[in-house]
Structure 1
Amino acid sequence: MKIGILQTGHAPDELLESFKDYDVMFQNLLGGNGFEFETYSVVDGVFPSGADACDGWLITGSRHGAYEDHPWIPPLEDLIRDIHARKLPLVGICFGHQIIAQALGGKVVKYDGGWAVGRVEYDMGGEKRFVNAWHQDQVIDLPPGARVVGGNEFCKHAILAYDDTIWTMQPHPEYGADFIEGLIDTRGKGVVPEDQLQKAREELRKGPTDSPAIAREMAEFFKKERA
């Protein structure tokens, strides 16, 4: 199965050598499942020939806002709608979660309640899951057909599903604790309140995340048989 990674941002230059870019993080996260990957750096204007270029799709995170005026956002939204119309499996993480919701009729804003940073607990159908987060933007209005499958008090629409073909998540299962610490050092200072950054560092040391389980579920989502 060929998974097309629609890359909508790049890791900070200071972290690239140690952690590689976002597409590689997802390849590592989903490795061992027999997938073939191809990256399309849509943030740099590189797009696939169409929705049928791959068997499934994944949209990465980004430092950009889904509501910002960038020339690559409208064609990305068109591609999302085409993928949805063809009922191909699509996963979105962070910015991917947001741009899919926006493309299908939802609303994304810079949340006035502040940031989610580091190891965060989410309720997924009564089950507690810990996932690393790094975001201020949120989906506040759901698009038609979306249903909430996970969230918390701060981010109620953190995990969404659309029929059985689209699954999206606001936090980052591809981020390890060391990468979050790198973001705290490179992108957090002067942007996220210092006391929140310190608390996030402390939370990172309290235990692992549930990324391995989420990775298995993502792989199963891509592979599942659909009518």
Structure 2
Amino acid sequence: MKPVLIIRTGRAPDPIRARHGDFPHWFRLGAQLSVARLRVIDVAAGETLPAPEEVAGALITGSAAMVTERAPWSERTAGWIRDAMDVELPLFGVCYGHQLMAHALGGRVDYLPGGREIGTLPIQVSQDARHDPVASALPSSFRAHTTHEQSVLEVPRGVAVLASSARDPHHLLRYGRNAMSVQFHPEFNADVMRAYIHRKRMDMHREGFDPHHTFRQVAPTPIARRLLRHFARHHGIAVSQ
């Protein structure tokens, strides 16, 4: 049986990782992936990805890096994403992974106008999501955890925009039959979101945001979390398959 990849583009900060675990663990739980079938490739550390034909699907994590830095490992991963799209491999990108997919396929990534987006925020679902095989299960609005400074400012040609926030119009994208990406974090739980806000509190103060208010607004996001599981089940890569 072909493995399912978690493409690791970074690591959670040390204090968060020590208490809550790290990206691969959160993605495995959120998507309900089998440990026996899972393979983690740390592209940021220089590990080499297998050919797309050799895997059943891939989830691409977030990162503290910036897509606009065009790091060699990131650009190599962008090339792999293009190859994966050619063979219609199931792909699901989150935050950095979302931005990297858009960048790889012809979109434009840069800093979000108005500064970072962080906290548990309402996400609005577009009409195009009604007919999407995965996003059609979403209600018209739901809450999701967010933390990012860069965003997809222009989507690639032919990509469907399925959801947005008040400040970021491109929170959920559909690329062809088997690939999706999200700017929000379906793999986060509320404790992880609070930990990120606590870590970013000084930056938030400096940028004119109120971290205490943002911290108080954190709430569970079961619908956002369910999206990751729905994707994995739809493509037959969840442990229950």
TM over 0.5: yes
In structure 1, what is the equivalent of residue 203 of structure 2?
191
Letter in 1 for 2:159: A
State the Cα distance separating 1:35 from its structure 2 match.
Answer: 7.9
Give the 3-state SS of the residue equivalent to 1:67 in structure 2: helix
Q: Is 1:129 equivalent to 2:142 in the alignment? A: yes
Q: TM-score, normalised by structure 2?
A: 0.85
In structure 2, what is the equivalent of residue 82 of structure 1?
83
**Alpha-carbon distance in structure 2 between the residues aligned to 1:140 and 1:74:** 18
**Alpha-carbon distance in structure 1 between the residues aligned to 2:31 and 2:175:** 21
Check the 8 A contact 1:89/1:221 in 2, yes or no. Answer: no
In structure 2, what is the equivalent of residue 4 of structure 1?
5
Check the 8 A contact 1:132/1:209 in 2, yes or no. Answer: no
Q: Is 1:178 equivalent to 2:191 in the alignment? A: yes
Comparing 19-28 and 111-120, the one that deviates more: 111-120
Give the 3-state SS of the residue equivalent to 1:190 in structure 2: helix
Q: Give the root-mean-square deviation of aligned CA atoms.
A: 2.0
Q: Deviations for 1:18-56, whole angstroms, at most 9, x for unmatched residues?
A: 211101110011126798211000010112232123110
Check the 8 A contact 1:10/1:21 in 2, yes or no. Answer: yes
* Matches for 1:85-100 after TM superposition, within 5 Å: 85-100=86-101
State the Cα distance separating 1:143 from its structure 2 match.
Answer: 0.6
Q: Match for 1:167 among 168, 175, 180?
A: 180
- Structure 2 residue runs without a partner (length 5+): 128-139
Q: Deviations for 1:45-81, whole angstroms, at most 9, x for unmatched residues?
A: 1122321231101100001111113220111011000
- Structure 1 residue runs without a partner (length 5+): none
Check the 8 A contact 1:33/1:219 in 2, yes or no. Answer: no
Q: Give percent identity, aligned residues only.
A: 25
State the Cα distance separating 1:159 from its structure 2 match.
Answer: 0.4
Check the 8 A contact 1:120/1:131 in 2, yes or no. Answer: yes
**Alpha-carbon distance in structure 1 between the residues aligned to 2:35 and 2:9:** 24
**Alpha-carbon distance in structure 2 between the residues aligned to 1:208 and 1:97:** 19
Letter in 2 for 1:63: A
Check the 8 A contact 1:132/1:175 in 2, yes or no. Answer: yes
CA, structure 1 residues 209+192, in 2 after alignment: closer, same or farther (shift >3 Å)? farther
Comparing 154-163 and 49-58, the one that deviates more: 49-58
